[in-house]
Structure 1
């Protein structure tokens, strides 16, 4: 674009200060580019008209300014030789009737594939489309689709259906929560999809299924969580085999979030431990392909939950690198990791503190890290917990040359 071109001021969006591609007028009478004002309405904490500062409803109607758009297009064509790009005719906003028509076509064995692809395309296009689709009941339609094809043993279209369900999921719509909160069949269907994805080595389908399952588990009733099939836990553990299977980091995060939620209800904690999860968590954290702070935080949170019972601690201590791994991560990742790691050590030193375990903590630097936490810029609660651990076993650790004597004598019994 030639810098000497004088662009008419009223062609520019007051927000982006760029030539408007799809001018729309708000209820305050000011015209903006649709993309800019929609983003503003979606993200602003206090929604007001950017130009007039008048209150503006978040779901405010936006009226297309066809006259201004035609003027901009004509001006762009006239100045094309000066490097001005033409403004394409904007797409018509998605209508509820269009979505309902696409949902109806899902029941047609000839048209359902094309319908799913179109819905997937629309959902990925913009937030406005996703909102329209959510309000038209696309989430319910996708759940019905997944259940139907699970019963029939078919997989065609499941990847698109899962992606649409994820993108158009909206908990503010009460029907959505009621649809899944006690829907055991849906969890079983998603578990079945995960098994197929593992067999077919389909990373995308597996990630989509885990993302949707995370949303379901978040709102699931305690009754549903207690009735989950052990196969669900097995699929979560398989996801942690990052060296043996190709697994996306998003899939690993989802699997960990699901296990953490399951762990908090009924007898699930023992089921998760009996499935060998503690050992797999240590292995996953040792995996160099998972250089993710969030994954480390989730692993430490889950380990802390599982180490709260004797079997979990026993499984943790059986891993030759368990204590060393926690020691290495302390003060290196994040406050959340420090909290989880120190909680694991507190449980170990209080309930499973054999002399062998205590000397192992000393040998791999765990005790030194606990001392450092007292001196570091940590939360007071962490410092207090560190002091308690040191005070509990000062008789074993006080003579070690690697421990500063004053740290132990200061907090002696």
Structure 2
């Protein structure tokens, strides 16, 4: 039901946060009543710890059902011949959840218990927090690890029940939006290996959940050994996901995981050997999404800090061209990353053939344009450095328009 239905809606029928219909009124510690879905989104999804109306700190995040108000709303619906709002299900209790988690250890009850847990998690943020409090992260991750590592060909062999159990556990873990402490429970080599195997052989849905769990796990891990010990197969699957482009969310999650993992220098070599550089270049060629392009250029910039990464860029027929094309077209952040990539090539890989290619495909002209426009002092200074360094090869070239060559910096 909406306000536009020409029904006079009493003030108590609207949630004070969003002015949406109040379906399940709950009261917070400050005494203000909100719709459960709206206040849960405010507290748990948006990470707020204050009352939206009073601005007071919420000393407790417990939500108390306002049964009196719910009855008044239902009575009003009956009086005005409006369809009654269904009585909401009460939040699941920790003992109920603990019993379901215990049942997942039984092969005969596992699938049914996982389906019930999945339904509980979908009902409310309160249920998700209760699941985490009951230790769901450890139990569900153990199911994923046991099902995958004990049978690496789990999905290839068509083992429907075991594969489905691993997929269900994975989807619940993703839906929980775990806290920092919950994510640390997953930050272990066995779980990362399991996610890698699922990325390799799982369904599109399971692969997506695996990828979207990876980045927050890697970001929240306080154990540097987790990054150091990432396997070449991990990077192979990340690169394959970038090539497959399962979904925009999966692509962005793969980029985030790649950026996080290659912050450790040795991982750059693993990523390059896995085919990450051509995968990133192809993604830049095909994607028009701003954020995707920014992250792809960030990853490519990091990989070009090593010789193999620059070699991969220069080997690709469109490498230099697509990097140059993204300058001044997406955002200042993307332009900065693209110029940094060109600077790395200019400093460390500037063979005569590379310099000639940069001239012919318009890289030099773009650098001259950067010097002329207002695009940030750092970007302009990087462009000037590249142009000064190779002024002998480029300064008098007919490939650069005269109006741009006039801005060529003095050496």
TM-score by length of 1: 0.86
**What's the secondary structure of 1:356's corresponding residue?**
helix
**What's the secondary structure of 1:157's corresponding residue?**
helix
Residues in 1 aligned to 2:77 and 2:98: alpha-carbon distance in whole angstroms:
37
Q: Which of 98, 109, 122 matches 1:111?
A: 109
Is residue 234 from structure 1 mapped to residue 236 from structure 2 by the alignment?
yes
Per the alignment, residue 65 of structure 1 pairs with 66
Report if the CA contact (8 A) 2:243-2:283 is conserved: yes
Report if the CA contact (8 A) 1:27-1:56 is conserved: no
C-alpha change, 1:279 and 1:27, in structure 2 (3 Å) is closer
> CA shift at 1:180, angstroms?
3.6
Report if the CA contact (8 A) 1:203-1:248 is conserved: no
> CA shift at 1:105, angstroms?
1.1
Deviates more, 1:20-29 or 1:267-276: 20-29
Per the alignment, residue 405 of structure 2 pairs with 405
Report if the CA contact (8 A) 2:97-2:131 is conserved: yes
Is residue 209 from structure 1 mapped to residue 210 from structure 2 by the alignment?
yes
The count of residues paired between Structure 1 and Structure 2 equals: 394
Residues in 2 aligned to 1:384 and 1:2: alpha-carbon distance in whole angstroms:
56
> CA shift at 1:204, angstroms?
1.2
Report if the CA contact (8 A) 2:346-2:386 is conserved: yes
**What's the secondary structure of 2:34's corresponding residue?**
strand
- The equivalences for 1:268-279 within 5 A come to 268-279=267-278
Residues in 2 aligned to 1:57 and 1:121: alpha-carbon distance in whole angstroms:
28
Deviations 1:115-160 (A, max 9, x none): 1112222223332222222222111111111111123324122222
Residues in 2 aligned to 1:312 and 1:113: alpha-carbon distance in whole angstroms:
45
Residues in 1 aligned to 2:198 and 2:34: alpha-carbon distance in whole angstroms:
44
**What's the secondary structure of 1:132's corresponding residue?**
helix
Over the residues paired in the alignment, what is the CA RMSD in angstroms?
2.6
**What's the secondary structure of 2:164's corresponding residue?**
coil
- The equivalences for 1:271-310 within 5 A come to 271-286=270-285, 288=286, 290-310=287-307
Is residue 48 from structure 1 mapped to residue 51 from structure 2 by the alignment?
yes
**What's the secondary structure of 1:32's corresponding residue?**
strand
Residues in 2 aligned to 1:283 and 1:5: alpha-carbon distance in whole angstroms:
54
> CA shift at 1:338, angstroms?
0.9
Report if the CA contact (8 A) 1:25-1:64 is conserved: yes
Deviations 1:40-70 (A, max 9, x none): 44548572351xx262406443332323322
**What's the secondary structure of 1:108's corresponding residue?**
coil
Report if the CA contact (8 A) 2:43-2:49 is conserved: no
Residues in 2 aligned to 1:219 and 1:116: alpha-carbon distance in whole angstroms:
26
Q: Which runs of 5+ in 1 are unaligned?
A: none
> CA shift at 1:330, angstroms?
1.1
Q: Which runs of 5+ in 2 are unaligned?
A: 152-161
TM-score by length of 2: 0.87
Is residue 125 from structure 1 mapped to residue 123 from structure 2 by the alignment?
yes
